[in-house]
Every structure is written in structure tokens, then in C-alpha cells.
Amino acid sequence: MVMQFAERNPGMTRVMAGDALVFENERLQQRMSQFFDKIEVALRQSLRVAADLSGSATPSVDTQVRASVLTAFIVGRLQRFARSGFRRLPSEHLDASLALML
């Protein structure tokens, strides 16, 4: 959903990736950090159910690691999109990338 939003709103992608925040108010930078923290928490909650069902010996650690990796992946895709001049879409090969990570 975040990547689809970025594709439809390239200007906001620069803000989300931090490129447009270099000389901005520190409060806006903090809000974007909070945004990605909330995404990571939501991912962690979703992944916790899957870890419990799979019988993981350390479900909380597994979910924290996976949520962190997925959040970093999202940020990386947004940065790549902005730095490519909006030519390389964040959703490019998304299904294959997620299947590889998960």
C-alpha cells in the first residue's frame, strides 16, 4: 500500500524517503520517523500470527527481525524511486522480492 501511494504521489515520495527534508523543520523529520515506526509495528503484529502458527521457537525475535527488514526494504524502494527520477517503480518485481525475503 505504501509503494502504491508513492507511485501515485511522487512529491510525497521525496518527503517519505527523506530527500525533501534536508533543510526542513526537525519536527517533520520526526513525524516521518514515527510513520515508519508505525509501519514496522503493524508489520510486526501481522507477522506475529504467522510466527505463532509456524511453531517458531522464538516468535517475537523472528517477527521483529522480519518487520525491520521489510521496513528497510520499503524505505529503500522509496529512495530508489526518488533517485531514479521516478523511473524505477517501487512495485517493480515486488512479488518476487517479497517471496525471496519471506
What is the chain's length? 102
Instruction: Say if residues 85 and 19 touch (Cβ distance below 8 Å).
Output: no
Residue 53 has what pLDDT?
A: 79
Residue 57 has what pLDDT?
A: 78
90: domain range?
A: 2-101
Residue 60 has what pLDDT?
A: 86
We report the CATH number of the domain holding residue 25 as 1.10.357.10
CA nearest neighbour of 90 among 12, 6, 15: 6
Structural domain total, the chain = 1
Residue 58 has what pLDDT?
A: 83
pLDDT at 22 over 70: no
Q: What's the predicted TM-score (pTM) here?
A: 0.86
CA distances from 20 to 1, 10, 63 (A): 21, 11, 31
Helix (H, G, I), strand (E, B) or coil at 79: helix
Check residue 83 and report its DSSP letter.
H
23-73: pLDDT as tens digits? 667 888 888 899 999 999 999 999 988 887 778 778 888 899 999 999 999
Check residue 56 and report its DSSP letter.
-
